[in-house]
Amino acid sequence: MASPALTRVSAAQRAFAHAPARPTSPWWLPGSARTASTLLLTVVIVSTLMVPVGATAQVVLASQFDDRSPTQAIVMLDPGRVWGDPDATRTARIDHAAELYRDQVAPVVIVAGPPRTHEETIRGLQMRGVPVADVVTFDSGADTVGPLTTVASVMRDLDWVSATIVTDPAHAARVQSTAGALGMDAHVSPTQYGSNVSLTSDYVGREVAALLRHHFVTRWSLPNLLGS
């Protein structure tokens, strides 16, 4: 005959065996409000950290890619706002634009920027083998958005869609993103030498900040002029 203690244990075991199973949550659901708050905070922190990291990667990767696919025009942006010597930077861009022209990347060179530098730029391109008849200048600001907006408007009138843009390596990512927002089929060919080809921490940091501002603010106000 079983003792009373054993009888109680057996009864408890039978009751446990027949008790309904407690529902379990999937592994991906938080088990409590505190866990949910911690998970949400972690996601926000990681996302916040990844945004500048992604922008930095975009700046660095775009600076390394020299796209020389055939297009309808070579666009040389004036280096009105650069870190370093703007004259040396302009000379490097003139050399590069002329090289692209000689390599038959496009049949025309569009120069965008302040008019005070147009005569010098045209003369420099001519000395490097670009006929004056194949150089077109447009007055615009010295920033990134103004010249590209002007060029995109002209391309729309000419029924053009593609362009090869000459600028500095660290500037390539922002140029491509801006031109793309305007509807342009943009191919960026960065310069190979000059005072602004080095990816210094200052220059990259400046471009990362400008690229983030473009992604979160500027691009939403840009018109898609070419519709591509």
CA 112 – CA 80 distance, rounded (Å): 11
CA 207 – CA 82 distance, rounded (Å): 11
- DSSP state letter for 163: E
83: Cβ contacts below 8 Å, ≥ 6 apart: 196, 202, 203, 206
pLDDT: which is higher, 85 or 172: 172
Q: What value does the mean pLDDT of the chain take?
A: 83
- DSSP state letter for 42: H
What are the tens digits of pLDDT across the range 53-100? 888 888 999 999 999 999 999 999 887 655 567 788 889 999 999 999
Lowest mean pLDDT among 109-113, 120-124, 200-204, 206-210: 200-204
CB 92, CB 203: distance < 8 Å: no
CA 108 – CA 130 distance, rounded (Å): 9
CB 207, CB 171: distance < 8 Å: yes
Structural domains of the chain sorted by starting position, each given as residue range(s) with its CATH number in brackets: 63-221 (3.40.50.620)
168: Cβ contacts below 8 Å, ≥ 6 apart: 79, 82, 89, 190, 191, 194, 196, 197
What are the tens digits of pLDDT across the range 13-22? 555 555 555 5
pLDDT band at 45 (very low <50, low <70, confident <90, very high): low
93: Cβ contacts below 8 Å, ≥ 6 apart: 76, 77, 79, 166, 167, 191, 194
